[in-house]
């Protein structure tokens, strides 16, 4: 029981920091860079902050996954993935997989330098797309947090 509670605490700490960072990038950083006063420096600013956050996010995603799978092991709850009423477990796993793909595959190997997209003046509109994409990811993640708290406390049982 102790181990489960501690794992739950670690799980939530990592989620808070990870999603807090995603919210910051989405609601503060990108809109600030898009504001005209940053024109010319957007490449530098975006890279400096977003790339640094990516390192932290990678560690947090791993921690969230380890604590999550450890809880499944302790609860012996693998069969939940076979039951539709545990859709909130599927949702957690999907969000996690999406970030694993983004942070460990797409970003380092296909985008490499996030800011390069921003630098190109002709592609300045891409920052708008970046904001839309980040907003969708953030909303899905917040929704997952909401249903996971309900689910973990028996709401869908």
Interface with ligand HEM (CB under 6 A): 8, 11-12, 15, 64-65, 68-69, 71-72, 75, 92-93, 95-96, 141, 144-145, 148-149, 152-153
Nearer to ligand HEM, 66 or 117 (CB): 66
CB of 144 to ligand HEM, least distance (A): 4
Give the largest CA-CA distance in the chain: 56
- 141: its two tokens: 């993640």
Task: Give 23 or 152: the residue with its C-beta nearer to ligand HEM.
Answer: 152
Work out the burial of residue 53: count CB atoms within 10 Å of its CB; fewer than 13 is exposed, 13-18 middle, 19 or more buried: middle
| DSSP character string of 71-130 | HHHHHT-GGGGG-GGGHHHHHHHHHHHHHHHIIIIIIIIIIS-HHHHHH-GGGTTHHHHH
Residue whose CB is less far from ligand HEM, 131 or 141: 141
| Closest approach of ligand HEM to the CB of residue 30, in Å | 20
Residue whose CB is less far from ligand HEM, 17 or 72 = 72
Position closest to ligand HEM via CB? 68
For tokens 């489960």, what's the residue? 4
d(Cα 129, Cα 64) in Å, to the nearest integer? 28
> Whole-number minimum distance, CB 2 to ligand HEM, in Å?
14
**Residue 157 Cβ vs ligand HEM, minimum distance, rounded to whole Å:** 10
Nearer to ligand HEM, 6 or 48 (CB): 6
Instruction: Report in angstroms how near the CB of residue 148 gets to ligand HEM at its nearest.
Output: 4
Exposure on the CB side of residue 42, measured as CA atoms within 13 A = 26
């Amino acid at each position: 029981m102790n181990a489960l509670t501690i794992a739950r605490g670690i799980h939530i700490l990592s989620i808070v920091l990870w999603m807090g960072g995603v919210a910051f990038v989405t609601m503060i950083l990108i809109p600030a860079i898009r504001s005209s006063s940053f024109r010319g420096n957007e490449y530098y600013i975006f890279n400096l902050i977003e790339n640094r956050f990516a390192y932290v996010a990678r560690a947090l995603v791993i921690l969230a996954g380890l604590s999550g799978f450890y809880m499944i092991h302790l609860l012996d709850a693998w069969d939940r993935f076979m039951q539709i009423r545990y859709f909130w477990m599927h949702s957690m796993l999907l969000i996690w997989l999406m970030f694993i793909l983004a942070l460990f595959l797409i970003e380092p190997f296909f985008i490499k330098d996030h800011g390069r997209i921003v630098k190109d003046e002709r592609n300045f509109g891409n920052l708008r797309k970046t904001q839309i994409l980040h907003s969708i990811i953030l909303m899905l993640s917040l929704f997952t947090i909401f249903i996971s708290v309900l689910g973990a406390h028996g709401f869908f049982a």
